[in-house]
Structure 1
């Protein structure tokens, strides 16, 4: 029913990323990091490079505070990023392939009545995640930790708050083509997202879609981009309530000090996402 095969690669990578994040100032050796992943230096180097697209040493550079600060200093405004996205043709910017839609007031009031949400668990480069869709529109993408239950009742409960009246249908088979598109490195297809949100939340999430891969912005920059420079705290709340991880890239927002800060699905996963994207953006 669910595609929940274990993914030892990500778990080994996650342990090494935790170690690198905690010890990057000491520039740990390859042997030190490989030992944390319980692998030989040779196998760890190959595994990590296959996952991240760069060596552990290069990835370590992406985790430094100076790197994050430099990205914030030279980061484009969100308006400039949107303009460049239309000219670059890279196909790797979220605003080129993700369309965000909010439900209508009538749909909001109906709380999902008359709608069917298909859902299932799939694997990603960042561990398992639960995917939910209404028709061809994604309404939920939440990463899962190893200890979280993936039985039908537990997964269904994730949809009740936003869609209490919707019919919930476990259906991995029909969602699989959509799931294979989400984390594809090439041949991406346009994806549509449908969310229940206030006008303010939609503004914030739309601003997130204009942040290019490999770039980061601060909460203050997002607040300024939506014309509410004094609302950085409210922006943080909206970012924290994002129901669609990765595709609405809340992981690209960090503190103005350069620290990565918290993340709804774990600081280690946020670090992995930022490093992974920085590696590909640098190619």
Structure 2
């Protein structure tokens, strides 16, 4: 087990046992480390302390956080969702595949792909010359499935395993961008409605949540909550398009393609980062 796997396993353990409020020694023992070593390792890789992560898991988040998210989505709708959106800690430019590109099915496009280890789990990443086109959590059983899905979506493209070309897509999630850094571009395929929903997700800041109905209202289609849910579930780029920030009106988690445990893990990590003065950053990511 490497250090990234230890951090992911520790987070998963805290998610599963949040109600029991396990102490530092208990979580450290679960990943076969001393409490001292585990504390240092967790802070270094996750950018937060284990205690902060556990506190974030137990916060009463639904109503108080959704209230502010609603107004933010209203503002986004007023400004127009057709343009690029400002993600609060990262600048993101979302571009849709053009009709011409869709018709050519990726002909002449080189797509680099790779798998990277992160504190939240292993990520499959694919990028075109125009931006990130696919990102999702993988394990030893489904990485080939994501590659096959990519090939089906871009059947005439040239796929090349190249982690040096995909590394930036993951590192920018876990490290502070340098001053003057260019925007992170997302290059996605979807219907006009899906694109609108994904743009709306980019307006939800780190550590806050919106419901499916809030997003439907922001898009001017208050009765389209189910369609919004389908679009959220079809999100091709995990984390950068933050579908994990969408929950049910009741405050319940809702669904997540990569499992509810993973959704809780990502939410707690972001929530802890958004409500702490701790400036520790994760180290460079490995392939």
Q: CA RMSD in A?
A: 2.7
Contact 2:12 2:262 in 1 (8 A): no
Which of 237, 241, 256 is residue 244 of structure 1 equivalent to? 237
What is the alpha-carbon distance in structure 1 between the residues aligned to residue 48 and residue 186 of structure 2?
31
Distance 1:225 1:111 in 2: 32
Which residue of 218, 232, 248 maps to 1:225? 218
Q: How far apart, in 2, do the equivalents of 1:38 and 1:181 lie?
A: 30
Whether contact under 8 Å (2:94, 2:187) holds in the other structure is yes
Distance in 1 (CA, whole Å) between partners of 2:11 and 2:75 is 29
| CA 1:211–1:74: 2 relative to 1, 3 Å | closer
What is residue 201 of structure 2 aligned with on the other side?
A: 208
Q: In the comparison of the two structures, how many residue pairs are matched?
A: 267
Equivalents in 2 of 1:181, 1:69: separation in Å?
A: 30
Residue 204 of structure 1 deviates from its aligned partner by: 0.4
Residue 118 of structure 2 aligns to a residue whose secondary structure is coil
Cα distance, 1:132 vs structure 2:
1.4
Per the alignment, do residues 256 and 155 of structure 1 end up closer, same or farther by CA in structure 2, a change over 3 Å counting?
A: closer
TM-score by length of 2: 0.81
Conserved? CA contact 2:124–2:143, under 8 Å:
no
Q: What is residue 173 of structure 1 aligned with on the other side? A: 164
Q: Name 2:7's counterpart in structure 1.
A: 13
Structure 1: where are the runs of 5+ without partners?
1-5, 84-90
What is the TM-score with the length of structure 1 in the denominator? 0.82
Gaps of 5+ in 2: 78-85, 278-287
- Aligned residues of 1:181 and 1:189 also touching (Cα < 8 A): no
Residues 90-135 of structure 1: per-residue CA shift (max 9 Å, x gap): x9616x6111111122222222223221222223332222221221
Aligned ranges 1:184-203 → 2 under 5 Å: 184-187=175-178, 189-203=182-196
Match of 2:270 in 1: 277
For residues 281 and 157 of structure 1, do their structure 2 counterparts lie closer, same or farther at Cα, with a shift above 3 Å needed?
Answer: same
